[in-house]
Amino acid sequence: MVSGFHSKIEKDVFHYLLKGTQPIILVLARGLYKRIPVEFQKPLNESRLLIISPFDKTITRASSHTAYIRNKFILEISDDVTIPYISKDGLLSKVIIGSTFQRLDC
């Protein structure tokens, strides 16, 4: 699972996934942490959590611009993409429209 885990519901899913056994890639919309949060230690030690960022350490806060770049980066590094919901006016929608991603309407 690769995500920015940025919204409230995504954060809830992330904390649930941290308790599991599956591999997780957290892509930050800012530079890497100076201090790794305590709840990340166990999955990191088990080599099932990878934290990456397309930004250097001088970017210390997420913004709509860095979230846009992060979302685009996630699409570029992913082999398969499942997006359960896209807000019509949201940042992810803007990333999808500008990419080669094919939307499947169900």
pLDDT of 24 strictly over 90? yes
Is the residue at 12 inside a domain? yes
What does the pLDDT average to over 67-87?
A: 86
Is the residue at 105 inside a domain? no
Is the residue at 21 inside a domain? yes
Domain containing 65 equals: 2-97
Q: For residue 100, what pLDDT band results from cuts at 50, 70 and 90?
A: low
Q: Which helix (H) or strand (E) holds 2?
A: strand 2-3
- pLDDT digits 0-9 by tens, 32-50: 999 999 999 999 999 999 9
The count of domains in the chain is 1
